[in-house]
């Protein structure tokens, strides 16, 4: 089973050597206190530290809230005297006084209810037991992460006085240690060393600029607090730095290659951008021309609408005039017909009266007949005038302006 490296959980082989040394050195520090003891590793992660403690401990237990981490630890760091279980740092699944040593490295800063870690550790410790706990220095950590920002996995970070006071509220005896990287010169027998002597020239850093704080806490008096120097197996610092520089140069060359490709791609994007800008300019010019033409078309449509309305008004006036004239002619024609009918009746009555006078009145009868013919001709002329007016009205209805008015749904119905 594999586990993902997020930058917070240390997985052997997947982290920078300095980060690895920071973590494993804490366990070698605590292993000196674990001889023949029952040990609990709180927040055991991948299990490498629990296995380190088990080398000197009577038995070791590792707990972690991550089931994935526990499975990884069982698979990769199983030992005869080691067990791994899923468990919380603030609700430890153990009876009182179950362990002689509890370690909690880089755990307390991840907890919302961090004081519960301390009281739970005190509860599961047997008389004479010790808690070894570490955390990053808030001041140094904030400075080192200035560019990347606060660690999203941390909920509470400590300065040394706050850390000391928090531990002192639970444990009456607290020995504080500062954990730092330090340059040193090592004189090692070629055949291998069975022990080591260490000479320290003064203090290595101060609490304010220390990388990490580590404390050994107990309910009973503790004797001695010697300095501890961890020399990793790959401790030729100059050689490591040279190799690191070579790796950085290789990475820089790779990144330069990426940068060259990115720059070429950037230039291509600029070219495409310039082409797009020109196309947009042309499209904007075309759009402006279209807008101008549309404005002219709208103006022409308005002119045509005004002209149509004018012609429709004139047409309505002409129709009204024609209708009045037709009515007048019809009225005159009716009067003429009525007059003719009256005359006919009058002449029919008079005919009987003047039969005896026929000869004498023949001229008068011929005159009357002539007058009748004249009136008839006049009436026929009125009929032709009415027909002519109807033709004019039909011509108006068939005009292009009347047709255009009907198309737009305006104007009178003729």
User: For residue range 227-237, what is the model confidence (pLDDT) as tens digits?
Assistant: 878 777 655 55
- Is there a domain that residue 227 lies in? yes
- Is there a domain that residue 369 lies in? yes
Q: Residue 151 has what DSSP assignment? A: -
Residue 66 has a pLDDT of: 94
Range of the domain at 146: 17-233
Distance CA 246, CA 248 (A): 5
Please report which confidence band the pLDDT of residue 358 belongs to, taking 50, 70 and 90 as the band edges: low
Judgement on whether residues 198 and 298 belong to the same structural domain of the protein: no
Distance CA 167, CA 173 (A): 9
Contact 186, 231 (CB under 8 A): yes
Least confident of 2-11, 117-126, 286-295: 2-11
- Is there a domain that residue 247 lies in? no
Instruction: Give me the CATH number covering residue 108.
Output: 3.40.50.150
- Is there a domain that residue 346 lies in? yes
Query: Which of 41, 149, 15, 165 minimizes the C-alpha distance to 101?
Result: 41
Distance CA 1, CA 117 (A): 29
Please report which confidence band the pLDDT of residue 326 belongs to, taking 50, 70 and 90 as the band edges: confident
Please report which confidence band the pLDDT of residue 365 belongs to, taking 50, 70 and 90 as the band edges: low
- Is there a domain that residue 241 lies in? no
Judgement on whether residues 191 and 305 belong to the same structural domain of the protein: no
Distance CA 244, CA 265 (A): 31
- Is there a domain that residue 145 lies in? yes
- Is there a domain that residue 202 lies in? yes
Judgement on whether residues 162 and 29 belong to the same structural domain of the protein: yes
- Is there a domain that residue 201 lies in? yes
Query: Is the whole-model pTM more than 0.85?
Result: no
| Sign for the pseudo-dihedral over CA of 213, 116, 118, 166 | positive
Residue 233 has a pLDDT of: 66
Judgement on whether residues 201 and 270 belong to the same structural domain of the protein: no
**In 145-236, where does DSSP find H-type helix?**
160-168
Structural domains in the chain (count)? 2
Higher pLDDT, 362 or 7: 362
Judgement on whether residues 220 and 363 belong to the same structural domain of the protein: no
Judgement on whether residues 265 and 216 belong to the same structural domain of the protein: no
Q: Could you tell me which residues are beta bridge partners of residue 40?
A: 61, 102
Q: Which residues, including other chains, have CB under 8 Å from residue 159's CB and lie 6 or more apart?
A: 137, 138, 139
Distance CA 331, CA 141 (A): 115
The fraction of the chain above a pLDDT of 70, given in percent, is 88
Residue 378 has pLDDT above 70, yes or no: yes
Judgement on whether residues 29 and 177 belong to the same structural domain of the protein: yes
Q: Which residues, including other chains, have CB under 8 Å from residue 114's CB and lie 6 or more apart?
A: 108, 155, 156, 166
Mean of per-residue pLDDT scores for the chain: 84
Contact 53, 29 (CB under 8 A): no
Crossing angle of the two packed helices 358-397 and 237-354, in degrees rounded to 10: 180
* Domain's final residue, options 214, 233, 252: 233
Q: Could you tell me which residues are beta bridge partners of residue 61?
A: 40, 83
The two tokens of residue 82 are 């080691």
Judgement on whether residues 149 and 279 belong to the same structural domain of the protein: no
Please report which confidence band the pLDDT of residue 314 belongs to, taking 50, 70 and 90 as the band edges: confident
* Domain's final residue, options 198, 233, 268: 233
């Amino acid at each position: 089973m594999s586990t993902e490296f997020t930058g917070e959980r240390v997985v052997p082989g997947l982290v920078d050597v300095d980060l690895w040394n920071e973590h494993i050195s804490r366990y070698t520090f605590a292993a000196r206190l674990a001889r023949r003891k029952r040990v609990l590793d709180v927040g055991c992660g991948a299990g490498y530290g629990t296995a380190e403690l088990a080398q000197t401990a009577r038995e070791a237990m590792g707990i972690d809230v991550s089931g994935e981490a526990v499975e990884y630890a069982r698979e990769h760091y199983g030992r005869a005297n080691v067990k791994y279980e899923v468990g919380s740092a603030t609700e430890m699944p153990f009876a009182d006084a179950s362990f002689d040593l509890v370690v909690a490295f880089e755990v307390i800063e991840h907890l919302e209810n961090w004081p519960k870690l301390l009281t739970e550790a005190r509860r599961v410790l047997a008389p004479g037991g010790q808690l070894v706990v570490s955390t990053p220095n808030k001041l140094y950590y904030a400075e080192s992460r200035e560019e990347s920002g606060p660690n999203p996995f941390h909920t509470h970070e400590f300065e040394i006085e706050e850390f000391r006071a928090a531990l002192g509220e639970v444990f009456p005896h607290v020995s504080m240690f500062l954990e730092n990287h330090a340059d040193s010169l090592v004189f090692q027998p070629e055949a291998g060393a069975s022990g080591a002597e260490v000479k320290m020239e003064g203090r290595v850093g101060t609490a304010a600029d220390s990388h990490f704080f580590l404390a050994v806490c107990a309910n009973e008096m503790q004797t001695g607090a010697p300095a501890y120097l961890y020399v990793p197996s790959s401790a030729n610092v100059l050689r490591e730095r040279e190799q690191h520089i070579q790796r950085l140069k290789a990475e820089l060359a790779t990144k330069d290659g990426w940068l060259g490709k990115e720059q070429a791609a950037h230039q291509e994007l600029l070219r495409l951008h310039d082409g797009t800008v020109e196309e947009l300019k042309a499209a904007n010019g075309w759009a402006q021309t279209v807008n101008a033409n549309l404005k002219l078309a709208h103006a022409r449509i308005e002119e045509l609408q005004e002209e149509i309305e004018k012609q429709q008004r004139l047409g309505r006036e002409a129709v009204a005039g024609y209708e009045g004239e037709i009515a007048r002619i019809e009225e005159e024609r009716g009067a003429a017909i009525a007059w003719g009918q009256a005359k006919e009746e009058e002449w029919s009555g008079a005919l009987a009266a003047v039969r005896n006078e026929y000869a004498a009145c023949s001229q008068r009868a011929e005159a009357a007949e002539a007058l009748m013919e004249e009136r008839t001709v006049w009436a026929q002329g009125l009929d032709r005038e009415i027909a002519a007016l109807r033709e004019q009205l039909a011509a108006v209805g068939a005009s292009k302006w009347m047709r255009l008015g009907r198309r737009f749904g305006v104007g009178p119905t003729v």
